[in-house]
Amino acid sequence: MAEDTRKASGHGGAPAADEGAQAPMHGGAHAVAAARRHGVSAMFTLSGGHVFPLYDGAVKADPPMRLVDVRHEQTAVFAAEATARLTRAPGLAVLTAGPGVTNGVSAITTAHFNGSPVVVLGGRAPDYRWGAGSLQEIDHPRLLAAVTKRAWTEHQATNVGPAVDEAFRLACSPHRGPVFLDVALEALFGDAGSAPGGAGPATPGGTSAATSKPAAAEAPTATGGRPEAARDVGEIAGLIAAASRPVLVLGSDVWLGGADKAARAAAEELRLPVVANGQGRGVLPAGHELLVTRARAAAFREADLVVVAGTPLDFRLGYGEFGGADGAPPARVVHVTDAAGQIATHRQLAASAAGDLASFFTALAGAMPAALRNAGPRGPALPWEKAWVPRLRDAARDAAAADRALLTSGAYPIHPLRIYGELGALLDDDAVVIGDGGDFVSYAGKYLEPRRPGGWLDPGPYGCLGTGLGYAIAARIARPAAQVVLLLGDGAAGFSLMDADTLVRHRLPVVMICGNNGIWGLEKHPMRLLYGYDVAADLQPGCRYDEVVRALGGAGEIVTAPDGIAPALRRAFDSGVPYLVNVLTDPAIAYPRSTTGV
Ligand SMILES: Cc1ncc(C[n+]2csc(CCOP(=O)(O)OP(=O)(O)O)c2C)c(N)n1
Ligand SMILES: [Mg+2]
């Protein structure tokens, strides 16, 4: 590696630290400048010689780009992904060649499933030795093609800036997703000219490119450009006007695509009951009169029309099969997505629309008066307002009331819901809550209703354990003043807890709560149901994950009695350091699941 680097840089050694900004810039500097032009302010990475110029570019940029070095590459990519999902500007992860890249694959796939705009830059063995077996020589793009919008290699130093620019442009255009670019060693280390290339010249020492508008905000709106879009909206407005029991489902792309305000305005104007999904949670805040997520079973069973916006019709939504309660016909289904390729093909749709979601909701609200007139005289109020909305609101209220006993349970061992009863009371409106685990996190999804959009992060439909520490690192950086709470199953904790070290080194205080039932609960209980026994589903009972965090320089404590939860959480919030509250919970409790996702 060292010899390859010397050859590639042409300096007889790695670029010297004292080379000034006037010196010819290597590909890494151009890459950093291009990333910054797209609104990137942090690089998540784990060291490797193949990517040194990207670090050098970050350190010598004006102002320097924040470098967050982690303990596993999956954490770097998860952190980049969470940055994108929280800030709606793209995230950047830098992975060294070979194992650095392959360690990031599950996290890149998670970004792919979540439609998160992430650019992963990889190091790559040098071209001039390709085939001779240099260290970590592997053709990454072939591995990553299936889980990225595009994966390719840049071979020319002078083209690194434009290639990185293209990677960000692609990642940020709907439907968003991860893009992978690796750069041959000699192109990354080599002279790429003195002014960074790409979409425009950098202005060293002048106006910082960091202040330029993120490309995500400039993405063209597909609806505006499609002549058939107005017809789609009119058709959908007509379907709503003709419905008796409509339901609106809001998913992650409503938030990611910046359509949260327009969606809320449309829901309120049309008085549509709303079920929130993924990062659509919080678009209508907890307690909103139209938010009926807690009554989703009744809503989906009894609806005659379901409009699903910004999320796929996947297992989380029963594959888009709604209605049919008590012999009623199945509900009509409308699918609205941010790009045509996202429209479901596995089920018959009454209508669909693809394009900018904010434009869609604004147009829908505008089209409704005419649609209602065309639907004939249906009374002064929207017809579903009288009985349907109150029916679902009551069902949601009853469901919440039924939980109260468990949220305040004094049971020993601790019922996991008691943790949420205590935590809910301590959360601020702008808290970011992150879930990484099985049953423990399913409970959280049901019982912690965000009060703002962008306040909830779960792994999404790929369901990958191990997102926790990466998401928490990013959340603390993206929201420096907000509470950041990471909910960890004890099983999930094993995938990323070492990155509590990253929290400590980078002074990122996060409250971690481990729901420690001593088992892989979401697997143990179903296996017992299926086979009458279980294997490979036990963990150490009472394992001291809090002491792991203490050993890494943070703090923590164990909680075994229900009354100990609230004081421990308060200590954690007050501590100002990474703090793990290790709550021993009852392994006999299984989340009442209606689907296994298969
Ligand atoms: C990377 C990965 N490996 C395995 C699984 C399968 N899996 C899903 S939930 C789960 C159990 C999680 O256990 P824990 O985090 O302790 O939460 P609990 O269900 O016990 O509350 C497992 C193993 C997965 N989703 N992701
Ligand atoms: Mg567990």
What CATH number is given to the structural domain containing 268? 3.40.50.1220
Give, as residue ranges, everything with CB less than 5 Å from ion ligand 2: 489-491, 517, 521
- pLDDT tens-digit profile of 501-531? 999 999 999 999 999 999 999 999 999 999 9
Q: Are residues 156 and 7 in the same domain?
A: yes
Domain stop point among 393, 417, 438? 393
Asked if residue 420 and residue 387 are part of one domain, the reply reads no
Ligand 1 within 6 A of CB of 160? no
The two structure tokens encoding residue 565: 């939860």
- Give the mutation target among 520, 523, 591 for probing the ligand 1 site: most ligand atoms within 8 A of CB: 520
pLDDT at residue 226, as a whole number: 63
Could you tell me which residue, 228 or 583, shows the higher pLDDT? 583
Note whether 237 and 362 are same-domain residues. Answer: yes
Tell me the residue ranges of DSSP E strands in 406-547: 432-436, 456-457, 484-489, 511-516
State the pairing for strand pair 484-489/511-516. Answer: parallel
How many A from CA of 186 to the centre of ligand 2? 47
The reply to whether 422 and 455 lie within a common domain is: yes
Alpha carbon 22 to its chain centroid, in Å, reads 39
* Beta-sheet strands, E only, within 350-449: 351-354, 432-436
The CA distance from 244 to 302, in Å, is 10
Task: Tell me how far the alpha carbon of residue 317 lies from the centroid of ligand 1, in angstroms.
Answer: 21
pLDDT in tens, 264-299: 999 999 999 999 999 999 999 999 999 999 999 999
At 596, is the pLDDT very low, low, confident or very high (cuts 50, 70, 90)? low
User: 11 and 115, same structural domain?
Assistant: yes
Contact 519, 442 (CB under 8 A): no
Q: Which residues contact 489 (CB under 8 A, 6 or more apart)?
A: 436, 437, 438, 439, 440, 441, 465, 514, 515, 517, 520, 521, 522
CA of 590 to the centre of ligand 1 (A): 13
User: Are 363 and 413 contained in the same domain?
Assistant: no
Lowest mean pLDDT among 20-24, 96-100, 235-239, 334-338: 20-24
Residues 426 and 287 in one domain: no
pLDDT at 379 exceeding the cut of 50: yes
Residue 3 pLDDT > 80 = no
Closest ligand relative to 527 C-alpha: 1
497 lines ligand 1 (CB under 6 A): no
> What are 322-357's pLDDT values in tens digits?
998 889 899 999 999 999 999 999 999 999 999 999
Q: Is 78 in the pocket of ligand 1 (CB under 6 A)?
A: no
3-class SS at 190? coil
What are 160-193's pLDDT values in tens digits? 999 999 999 999 999 999 999 999 999 999 999 9
The whole-number average pLDDT for the span 534-538 is: 98
Please choose from 75, 465, 586 the residue to mutate so as to test ligand 1's pocket, defined by most ligand atoms within 8 A of CB: 465
Mean pLDDT of the chain: 91
**Residues 385 and 414 both lie in one domain:** no
Helix or strand or coil: residue 514? strand
Of 36-45, 91-100, 235-244, 376-385, minimum mean pLDDT range: 376-385
Q: Among 464, 490, 522, 593, which is best to mutate for testing ligand 1, by the most ligand atoms less than 8 A from CB?
A: 522
Burial class of residue 326 (count of CB atoms within 10 Å of its CB; 0-12, 13-18, 19+)? exposed
R_g of the chain, CA atoms, integer Å: 25
Residues 370 and 413 in one domain: no
For ligand 1, say whether the CB of 590 is within 6 Å of any of its atoms: no
CA distance 230 to 362: 11
Residue 533 domain-assigned (yes or no): yes
pLDDT value at 198 more than 70: no
Going by alpha carbons, the residue nearest to atom 9 of ligand 1 is 438
Decide if 338 contacts 318 (C-beta within 8 A).
Answer: no
517 lines ligand 1 (CB under 6 A): yes
Q: What is the pLDDT of residues 323-332, one digit of tens each?
A: 988 898 999 9
Return all residues near 363 (Cβ < 8 A) that are at least 6 apart.
223, 229, 230, 233
State the distance from the centre of ligand 2 to the C-alpha of 494, rounded, in angstroms.
10
Confidence (pLDDT) at 598: 67
User: Could you tell me the two tokens for 473?
Assistant: 């690192």
pLDDT of residue 22: 56
Query: Which region, left, alpha or beta, applies to residue 511 given φ > 0 means left and ψ of -120 to 50 means alpha?
Result: beta
* Amino acid 9: pLDDT: 45
Q: Is 466 in the pocket of ligand 1 (CB under 6 A)?
A: yes
198 assigned to some structural domain = no
State the total domains in the chain: 3
Instruction: Tell me: do 79 and 139 sit in the same domain.
Output: yes
Same domain, 76 and 176: yes
pTM given for the model: 0.92
The reported pLDDT for the residue numbered 12 is 34
- Greater model confidence, 475 or 4: 475
The rounded distance, in Å, linking the Cα atoms of 353 and 391 is 29
What distance in Å separates the CA atoms of residue 63 and residue 79, rounded to the nearest whole number? 21
Distance CA 337, CA 310 (A): 5
Which of residues 197 and 549 earns the better pLDDT score?
Answer: 549
**Do 317 and 413 fall within a single domain?**
no
Does 435 contact ligand 1 (Cβ within 6 A)?
no
> pLDDT for 441-461, tens place per residue?
999 998 999 999 999 999 999
Domain that holds residue 24: 3-189
Q: What is the pLDDT of residue 403?
A: 87
Distance CA(337)–CA(174), nearest Å, equals 9
CATH number for the domain harbouring residue 459? 3.40.50.970
Top mutation candidate among 78, 110, 113, 439 for ligand 1, by most atoms within 8 Å of CB: 439
106 CA from centroid of ligand 2 (Å): 21
